[in-house]
Chain A
Amino acid sequence: MTTHLPSSSEHSQADLEELFALVYSELHRIAQREMGRELSPQTLQPTALVNEAYLRLLRGAHSDLVKERSYFFGAATRAMRRILVERARRRSRDKRGGDQQRVTISDVEGAIALQQRQVPIEDVLTIDELLEGLAAKDPAMARLIELRFFGGLTMSEAALVMETSKRRLFRLWRAARAWMAVEVKRAKASRGSEGRVAEDD
């Protein structure tokens, strides 16, 4: 792992946008393939996807952009979040169509915090919305949840991206996972009554 954290001047905004576009398309492709695969067709594993994207991009033409792991993880998390949210939106649109494949994400640090190994993709939208609200109030907590849940990053990786000590993050994470558990439950409870009508078929 690289211990060198580049100063932001080493990468222009254009570089970062290019990196994001690159990571997004790579992740999207891998996710597409995973979902089409017969072996484990209905589960996405952000950790695995992000690692694979990293290795692939590292071999590709833009390896110098990817090499700074902290930037890569940041971009990959944003991209992964977008992919999962898009997928969840599509799924909730398709819901009326009946005959669903059950889509879940698994192997995520955040999922484990929710005491599940797999999270139904519907919950992704809930968490996405909750994070929007949280970002205004406590950006660090929101960022950490995003990195852990959507990016599937380990604590060490998250610490690298957030440029802070692991010890501080442990403390923050303890609060974050409690907050997430409470709020997801709340959001579901308040939505449950509306949702049930539609699902009853």
Chain B
Amino acid sequence: MTEGNVKGRSSGDDEERWRRQWEIFHRACDQPEDARDAFLAVECGNDQELRREIELLLEADADAGEPLTLDYVAGIRPASLTPARWIGRAIGPYRITRVLGEGGMGVVYEARQIEGIDRLVALKVVKSGLLGKEAIARFDVERQSLARMSHPGIAAIYDVGVSEGGLPYFAMELVDGASLTEYVWREKLSYRRRLELFVKVAEAVGYAHQKGVVHRDLKPSNILVSGTGDQAQPKIIDFGVAKILAESTEGIASQSVSGTAGDGVPMTVEGRLLGTPDYMSPEQADPWNTEVDTRTDLYALGVVLYQVLTGLLPFDPEWLRQQGQLEIERILREVDPPTPSRRLTEPGHAGQPNPALPKGDPAAARRHLRGELDWVVMKAISREPARRYSSAQAFADDLGRLPNNEPVLAVPPTVAYRTQKFARRHRAGVLIALALLAGLVAATVCLGVGLVRSREAQLETQSALRRSERTTEVLQNMLAGVDPIVAQGRDTPVLDQILLQAEQTAAAETEEWPLVAAAIHHTLSETYLGLGRFEAALEHARRAVLLRERGLGDTHRETLMSRNALGLSLWELDQLAEAETVLASTVRSLEELVGPLHSETLTAKNNLALTLRAAGRLYEAAPLYREVFETRRRILPAGHEEIALYQSNYAFLLEQIGDYEEAVKQGREAVELWRALGAKTDVSNTLDKLGNALRHQGRIEEAVAAHRESLELTTETRGAEHPSSLTTRYFLARALREAGYVEEAEAELEIVVELARQEFGPRSRAFLAGRHQQVLCLLGGGEMTHAEQQLEGLLESTSAALGEGHSEVANLYISLSGLRSGDGRREQARSDLSKAIAIYRGIFREDHPRIVELEARMQGIE
């Protein structure tokens, strides 16, 4: 029990003792470890009990280790580093003159070099205890590689060493300048200037990468800008420092474990979310990942560009910090941030003057960013390293193309790509294809990364690396022969040639490098999916799956990605039975491999739901839809585009299975989400379904309002003659008629029928259903005989065109039944109705409200 519970002390003593215990505890924490014993001996005197208690607490404190919460790290610091205490003292051959700043790793001082050259340096002194003596020996190696770097955009590292007191330090070129963002905002640079400046930064990073040096902690405060106007020169500080520190500490860990690990075999430090999460790449946030490479820098660089362009970070830093470490890791790994232009429209930013923007006006900035700049930034900060730029130089080059209006490598981010057919068909397929092909070079380099993830597979790393080198070589040769026009993605026939060439290459590689061939097949499959050429997509997906199953096993992540592509291709081609088998097993394996909440699992699950739905198994699809939607909603920030997408998908399905109440609820929420996102097309699509659900609930006026708004939006975005405007107009007309606005309904129907005839012909559903509604309008006017003949005619042509079992045929029987029971022909009316019910039974479950309603009507006729 604690001291305080010991009997025989007054409570005042207890209080005093408790206070004293913690005071000594805190002061002991500030002592160097080897001095603590002596300190406790003095402070506790003869009170052995107190001393023992504090020792236990100190032990627990040490075990708690590096605290995992981010704001926590910044809060506690050993007193030995209280920066001001060092002014005037010497560390190595440097005398400290003032404090420049403090970071997570340590403190940066301005110092004067006492020996050799007389100069001022920036001296970074690392938190004590971070490095062991063995680690320090490695500094020499690193020092040489850092010394080889000489670039105007990189602050030189003069010296790396350890002070007499055991504090490791780095002496660096002292840069007098403001941080990149401060500079840009203070000078109110135009976008063109911002990009020019940023390109210099990217080129400096590219230079260092070529020399084999990775930064690992790129952020605006590590990029200082000196001079102004044309003379402005950004300089990156701390290049290579983070890596030295990480490897040195890992070196200690690995040596104590095996004594052999070290060179090039990266070790994971668990729970190492130590830096700021704002610039941290998803792979850095993944505790299982061991590979941090140049693409990690490219990600951070992308975030910096995001900030330079918008004044904002992709994720709101306040919000991010409130999430807790595990949540932050998950967000970084799984959530797509908004595009820069969209970020400016978010609540709190839209309409507010923003001093970080060139003219301070978010609306103007948004117009400037939308499109290619958005794409470039989003490519740079892709969650998958393989989708990012392959090098800093490629990044810089793409930015260089912008002011000249040349096409960029980056393409629109494709969130909806795996979820909705319509999205895919209307995207720039050609650009997707080219970006994927270019991305392939990077993708296969990344094969190595994928493999290192599983510990058992570490042995494969070597061969994976050789393989990726081979792939790169092959693809570079392939792309080198391509005309520049093609590289810009404008010429379809030549694009075909590239694809053909890729296919031939894959075939040629299959024997010797089966996994290289698999990677090419996989990419081709995704490319063809993007282009809407589904047979070809299917063929390549099959080959990729086969090769990967053989080479990597059934349950490897890469295999599962290919199986997912295979499932999608099958779904597109309506080979639903096989699609279901493939996707269901993919979902199961992914659940085991990466867990049920992982976005890849959810993507596969969503595809499975689409397949079940396409197969008419709506009731089985519904729980999957619900699960995908609810999980996404739980782990994504409120208002995220994907939530809207999944929620509207879910609402669509609810409407179909007749759960109108829930459909209305989900539909309304989804509409509001889309509205907030400014996605007019999606607002319109969702309003259509909402209107139908409302109509079935008998809320016909609300339905009219929904369809009316939908029609306005879709006409505005797609034009009156677009097929989706046609459907919307049909819905509106039907609701109008049922609400009693027959004249207005007739006017709309005239347009529907005419357009449908032109666009889709007289055997199309749109035309036939439009005609049906026209006849029903007549009925309202009392023209019975004429109407009955017309309905019978329509019944015949509709059955012929759409099949006997089509719901539109059932609808016609229902109309006929109503007409006939109205003038007393009950027998015939009941026969019509039973035919309609039979058709609906083939489509829906017994308890579908439509069937229930029709059966009730049947009772009414009797």
A interface, CB within 8 angstroms of B: 1, 39-40, 47-48, 51-52, 55, 106-107, 109, 112-113, 115, 117, 133, 137-138, 152, 154-157, 166-167, 170-171, 173-175, 177-179, 181-183, 186
Q: Which residue of A lies closest to B65 (CB)?
A: A115
- Tell me if A107 and B63 are in contact (CB < 8 A): no
Of B25, B321, B326, B631, the residue contacting A107 (CB under 8 A) is: B326
On whether A175 and B25 interact (CB within 8 A), knowing A113-B64, A166-B71, the answer reads yes
Task: Give Cα A181 to B4, complex, Å.
Answer: 17
Asked if B634 and A186 make an inter-chain contact with CB atoms under 8 angstroms apart, the answer reads no
- Measured in the bound complex, the distance between the Cα atoms of B439 and A27 in whole Å is 45
Our pick among B71, B76, B597 for the contact of A174 (Cβ within 8 Å) is B76
Chain B residues positioned under 8 Å from A174 (CB to CB): 26, 29, 61, 76
> Which residue of B is nearest A155, CB measured?
B71
8 contacts between A and B (CB under 8 A): A39-B597, A39-B627, A106-B326, A109-B69, A155-B75, A156-B71, A173-B72, A183-B2
**Can you add 13 more A-B contacts, CB < 8 Å, to A52-B634, A107-B327, A155-B72?**
A39-B627, A40-B596, A47-B324, A48-B327, A112-B69, A112-B325, A154-B321, A155-B69, A174-B76, A175-B26, A178-B25, A182-B56, A182-B60
Residues of A within 8 A of B71 (CB): 154-156, 166
Q: Is B318 an interface residue (CB 8 A)?
A: yes
Residue pair B4, A156 in contact (C-beta under 8 Å): no
Q: What's the minimum C-beta distance from A47 to chain B, rounded to whole angstroms?
A: 5
Enumerate chain B residues within 8 angstroms of A107, measured Cβ to Cβ.
324, 326-327
Q: Is B459 an interface residue (CB 8 A)?
A: no
B18 touches A178 (CB 8 A): no
Q: Which residues of B contact A157 (CB under 8 A)?
A: 322
B501 within 8 A of A: no
- Judge if B500 is at the interface, Cβ distance under 8 Å: no
The CA-CA distance from A40 to B330 in the complex, in Å, is 15
| CB-defined contacts of B14 to chain A, threshold 8 Å | 137
The verdict on B42 contacting chain A, using a C-beta distance below 8 Å, is no
Say whether B64 contacts A181, CB under 8 Å: yes
Q: When each residue 677-706 of chain B gets 1 if its CB lies under 8 Å from chain A and 0 otherwise, what string results? A: 000000000000000000000000000000
Per CB-CB distance, the 7 closest pairs between chain A and chain B, nearest first, are A170-B75, A181-B60, A178-B60, A178-B57, A178-B61, A39-B596, A47-B324
Q: How far is the CB of B307 from chain A (nearest CB, A)?
A: 20
Q: Is the interface of B mostly helix, strand, loop or mixed?
A: helix
Q: Could you say which of B58, B69, B318, B596 contacts A178, with CB atoms under 8 Å apart?
A: B58
In angstroms, Cα B635 to Cα A52, docked, is 10
Give bound CA distance, A183 to B53, whole Å. 11
Decide: A182 and B57 in contact? CB cutoff 8 A.
yes
Task: Given the known inter-chain contacts A48-B327, A109-B324, A157-B322, please indicate yes or no for A138 contacting B18, CB distance below 8 A.
Answer: yes
Query: Which B residues are CB-close (under 8 A) to A171?
Result: 26
Q: How far in angstroms is the closest Cβ of chain B from A30? A: 10
A156, B322: Cβ atoms under 8 Å?
A: yes
Which residues of chain A are within 8 angstroms of B67 by Cβ–Cβ distance?
112
The yes or no answer to B638 lying at the interface (CB within 8 A) is yes
Inter-chain CA distance A113–B68, complex, in Å, is 9
Q: Which residue of A lies closest to B591 (CB)?
A: A39
Contact B57 A154 (CB under 8 A): no
B4 touches A137 (CB 8 A): yes
Supposing A55-B638, A137-B14 touch, asked if A154 and B322 sit within 8 A by C-beta, the answer is yes
- Interface size for B (C-beta < 8 A) is 40
- Known contacts being A47-B323, A109-B324, is A177 close to B26, with CB within 8 Å? no
Q: Mark B58-95, 1 if CB is under 8 A from A, else 0.
A: 10110111011101100110000000000000000000
For residue A161, give the distance in angstroms from its CB to the closest CB of chain B: 13
* Smallest CB gap from A180: residue in B: B60
Q: Which among A115, A133, A137 has the highest number of chain B CB atoms within 10 Å? A: A137
The CA of A197 and the CA of B627, in the complex, are separated in Å by 42
- Docked Cα-Cα span, A111 to B60, in Å, equals 14
Q: What CA separation (Å) do A47 and B69 show in the bound complex?
A: 13
Q: What's the least CB distance linking B15 to chain A, in Å? A: 8
What is the distance, in angstroms, from B102's C-beta to the closest C-beta of chain A? 14
Task: Let me know if B257 is at the binding interface, CB within 8 A.
Answer: no
Which residue of the partner chain B has the closest CB to A175? B22
- Which residues of the partner chain A approach B5 to less than 8 Å between Cβ atoms? 133
Evaluate whether A39 and B631 lie within 8 angstroms (CB atoms) in the complex, with A155-B72, A181-B63 already known. Answer: yes
Instruction: For B75, give its contact among A1, A138, A167 (CB under 8 Å).
Output: A167
Contacts of B65 in A (CB 8 A): 115
Q: List residues of chain A with CB within 8 A of the CB of B68.
A: 112
A113 to B60, CA, bound (A): 9
Q: Which residues of A contact B631 (CB under 8 A)?
A: 39
The CA of A181 and the CA of B59, in the complex, are separated in Å by 10
- Bound Cα distance A115, B322 (Å): 20
A50 → B minimal CB distance (Å) = 10
Residue from A55, A154, A181, A183 within 8 A of B69 (CB atoms): A154
Separation of A137 and B638 alpha carbons in the complex (Å): 41
Chain B residues positioned under 8 Å from A152 (CB to CB): 324
User: Known: A40-B596, A166-B75. Is A115-B318 also a contact (CB below 8 A)?
Assistant: no
- With A181-B64, A182-B57 known as contacts, the answer to whether A137 contacts B327 (CB < 8 A) is no
B1 at the interface (CB under 8 A from A): yes
Task: Tell me how far the C-beta of B400 lies from the nearest C-beta in chain A, rounded to whole angstroms.
Answer: 40
Residues of B607-630 whose CB lies within 8 A of A: 627
Q: How far is the CA of A67 from the CA of B22 in the complex (A)?
A: 36
Which residues of A have CB within 8 Å of B58? 178
Q: A39-B596, A39-B631, A40-B596 are in contact. Are A156 and B60 (CB under 8 A)?
A: no
B56 contacts across to A, CB distance below 8 A: 182
Contacts of B326 in A (CB 8 A): 106-107, 117
> Complex: how many Å from CA A155 to CA B4?
28
**Complex: A112 Cα to B68 Cα, angstroms:** 7
- Cβ–Cβ contact B76 & A170, under 8 A: yes
Give the residues in chain A near B60, CB-CB below 8 Å.
177-179, 181-182
A70 CB to closest chain B CB (Å) equals 13
Chain A residues closer than 8 Å to B2, beta-carbon distance = 183
Question: Which of B5, B18, B322, B325 gathers most chain A CB within 10 Å?
Answer: B322
B465 to chain A, nearest CB (A): 33
Q: How far is the CB of A156 from chain B (nearest CB, A)?
A: 6
CA distance A155 to B69 in the complex (A): 8
- How many Å lie between the Cα of A186 and that of B56 in the bound state? 11
Alpha-carbon gap, A164 to B421, bound state (A):
53
Q: Which residue of B lies closest to A47 (CB)?
A: B324
Closest to A30 in B: B634
Q: Which residues of A contact B63 (CB under 8 A)?
A: 115, 181
